[in-house]
Amino acid sequence: MNAEFYDYVRKMHLYVEHQSKKIAKLEKAVLDMQQQIAALKERPPVQVGNIEYKFDQLKVETLEGTLNIGLNPADLSGIDDFSVDQKAVNVPNPAKEMFKRTIEIETALNQFLETDLEKIYQDAKAKLGIHVDDSYFTFIKEDIKKQLSGRVSTHLKESQSNQNDREFSSEINDQVIDLLKQEIQNGVYLFLKNLPDNVKEGNS
């Protein structure tokens, strides 16, 4: 059982290391984009001088054909009601809105980890009746933080696909936060429950 546990910890370490590199790469990409946006904002605005059209110098010899822009007056007689049902118009959520919501949710959950995770950890130990070295708490906390961005993104995409109008409602953030809080509680409990017996007794 010890070999299985240490193999699991080794794999978890490799996974965390991989996620750390991925997050570092994403952070660098965001920083690059922010720098590019800042550089664009600093550019002076393009100013176009006066444009003069001298129609008296144009010479038209032949004008023929039909130019239709929009609707022909002749077509209007066949239209009884030209209206748009706003409920039927689907406007996909922009990436900027997704990014903003991700940051808001991650901020709320990071605060939750700082204020509530230790109690969740202690309650799970008490419920299981085990004694575990508190270094596992640090490991669990860091592991959750590494996975947080991916889990938030996954839940937001699922929530978006479940919306009929493909627009985020004001309740989506709270729903995702509640789901992830429950995932964190369940994850802590299951992690401690599946530890080897000798570790649960406080042995190394």
Amino acid in the structure at residue 160: Q
> How many Cα atoms are found within 13 Å in the side-chain-facing hemisphere of 41?
6
Residues 123-148: pLDDT tens digits?
988 998 888 877 888 888 898 988 88
Mean pLDDT of the 80-92 span: 47
Q: Is residue 23 part of a domain?
A: no
65: left (phi over 0), alpha (psi -120 to 50) or beta: left
**Residue 179 Cα distances to 123, 155, 156, 175, angstroms:** 19, 8, 11, 6
| DSSP-H helix ranges across the chain | 2-42, 95-128, 135-162, 172-193, 197-200
Q: Is residue 24 part of a domain?
A: no
Residues 152-161: pLDDT tens digits?
888 888 877 7
Q: Measured between alpha carbons, how far is 35 from 7 in angstroms, rounded to an integer?
A: 42
Q: Is residue 156 part of a domain?
A: yes
Q: How many domains does the chain have?
A: 1
Q: Measured between alpha carbons, how far is 103 from 175 in angstroms, rounded to an integer?
A: 15
Give residue 154's pLDDT: 86
Structural domain including 199 reads 1-8+95-204
Q: Is residue 77 part of a domain?
A: no
The confidence band for 67, taking pLDDT boundaries of 50, 70 and 90, is very low
Highest-confidence segment of 7-21, 42-56, 59-73: 7-21
Give residue 46's pLDDT: 67
Mean pLDDT of the 110-116 span: 92
Give percent of the chain above pLDDT 90: 14
28 pLDDT above the threshold of 60: yes
For residue 116, the SS3 value is helix
The confidence band for 48, taking pLDDT boundaries of 50, 70 and 90, is low
Q: Is residue 177 part of a domain?
A: yes
Give residue 23's pLDDT: 92
Mean pLDDT in the chain? 75
The confidence band for 169, taking pLDDT boundaries of 50, 70 and 90, is low
Four-point Cα dihedral 185, 127, 130, 151, nearest 10: -10
Give residue 88's pLDDT: 44
Quick one: angle between helices 172-193 and 135-162, nearest 10?
A: 140
Q: Is residue 18 part of a domain?
A: no
Q: Which residue has the higher pLDDT, 8 or 201?
A: 8
Mean pLDDT of the 1-14 span: 74
Say if CB 121 and CB 137 are below 8 A apart: yes
Q: Is residue 184 part of a domain?
A: yes
Q: Is residue 90 part of a domain?
A: no
